[in-house]
Amino acid sequence: MKNLSKYFLILILLFNISNAQRIKDIAYVSGDNSTQLIGYAIVVGLAGTGDSHRTSFTIQSISSMLKRFGITVPQQDIKTRNVAAVMVTATISDFLKPGSKFDVNVSSLGDARSLQGGVLLMTPLSSMDGNVYAMAQGPLSVGGFDFDTPTGNKVARNHVLAGRVPSGGILQLSLPGSGFASNQLKVFLRSPDITTANNVTQAINTFFSQELAIASDPSEVIVNVPAERQQQVISFLSELESIEVSTDYTAKVVLNERTGTVVAGSSVKIQPVTISHGGLNIAIRSYPIISQPGAFSRAESILFNNMIPYAQQDSTSAIAIDGASNVQEVAAALNTLKVSPKDIIAIFQALKESGALTAELVIM
């Protein structure tokens, strides 16, 4: 028997009753920037899992590298199964100083099968302006494996065409654009919100007992550094980012129709409404029939599998909701219907269309 109405439910309820957070966790200060670096390189030491001869740029890279060491080898004689062309990327803070080490990400560029056991050769890393700011080199860590057996079987775990070189990057030059102004700072919210920006402003002014902050828009708060603290900006910032602020977010219900996931925030409300919902269950049952020939006949027995479909409409009674003011009441009201995740998604869509759902509906 095949049941065509099986779904899995994952209902996540977000409670934001006590939602005080540090400014450090919800915002960043102007000047506290990051820079993305990128470079092209080759990885050596692979166990026959590197790029094939069809990846011509890998062969060109090996040939060019050997020429720098005074070795000339015809490209047709170069074998690349132990070498792979890769792209190296990193995102680092502008406050890092020359000599600082950082992790780099390495990703295969050609048709290699695995980067496991490889070593990244010295790679110049440049930013968007084209200047080289760092160098990277070292053994890769892929966090998995991929083995082929002689019989054609394959054993694999995780993704082995991308990995990291822990502390493999070394900064060579200072990055431009880092530093804080001494007289005025700008605090940028990671999730712009009018109420949160106002709360940040009030919290800063209350903490320092001065009118230092003013919100210019939902994402930016301008903070004037007191004259007596302008020589100690880092100390002032340390106090500022530790201030706790009550955050506020738009009421949302996120629905993922592919996975059946429903995520509802604590501010979601349902106005008084009546809901009735019924599901259609389809089952196909098998009734084998055997045709037995007569005695002493030359006919053969025949098995006929008779498949008969059945359809049944669930008679779910209607329920009346006097109004749900928090996410617990919303969940309790929907649970009384005893419906699947797909049905919950349909109910939320219908509630939004009727105007009974006080929240933004996001469908993924």
* Residue position matching structure tokens 């080898």: 73
What average pLDDT does this structure show over 37-62?
90
Q: What is the pLDDT of residue 8?
A: 39
**Digit-coded pLDDT (tens) for 149-177:** 555 555 566 678 999 999 999 999 988 86
Q: What is the pLDDT of residue 205?
A: 94
Pairing, β 213-217 against β 302-313:
unpaired
Q: How confident is the model at residue 204 (pLDDT cuts 50, 70, 90)?
A: very high
Q: What proportion of the chain, given as a percentage, has pLDDT over 70? A: 72
Q: Cβ neighbours of residue 184 under 8 Å, at least 6 residues apart?
A: 222, 223, 224, 225
Nearest to 344 by CA among 250, 287, 268: 268
**Digit-coded pLDDT (tens) for 75-121:** 877 878 899 999 999 999 988 999 999 999 999 998 998 898 899 99
What percent helix, strand, coil does the chain show, rounded to 5?
20, 40, 40
**Digit-coded pLDDT (tens) for 178-192:** 677 788 899 999 989
Q: What is the pLDDT of residue 1?
A: 39
Average pLDDT, the chain: 79
Nearest to 195 by CA among 218, 211, 212, 213: 218
- Residue 321 in this model has a pLDDT that exceeds 70: no
Q: What is the pLDDT of residue 280?
A: 44
Domains of the chain as residue ranges with CATH: 1-16+249-364 (no CATH), 20-32+179-246 (3.30.1360.40), 35-171 (no CATH)
Q: What is the pLDDT of residue 124?
A: 96
What average pLDDT does this structure show over 203-209?
94
- Looking from the CA of 89 toward its CB, the CA atoms found within 13 Å total 9
Q: What is the pLDDT of residue 154?
A: 59
Q: What is the pLDDT of residue 285?
A: 56
Alpha-carbon dihedral angle through residues 40, 44, 49, 53, given to the nearest 10 degrees: 70
What average pLDDT does this structure show over 45-58?
88
- Residue 309 in this model has a pLDDT that exceeds 80: no
**Digit-coded pLDDT (tens) for 54-84:** 888 888 898 888 888 888 888 877 878 899 9
**Digit-coded pLDDT (tens) for 117-148:** 899 999 999 999 899 999 999 999 987 666 56
Output 254 or 177, whichever has higher pLDDT. 254
Output 205 or 304, whichever has higher pLDDT. 205
Distance between CA atoms of residues 65 and 42, nearest Å: 10
Output 359 or 188, whichever has higher pLDDT. 188
DSSP helix/strand/coil, 306: strand
- Residue 313 in this model has a pLDDT that exceeds 60: no
Neighbour order of strands in the sheet with 2-3: 2-3, 280-291, 302-313
- Residue 9 in this model has a pLDDT that exceeds 60: no
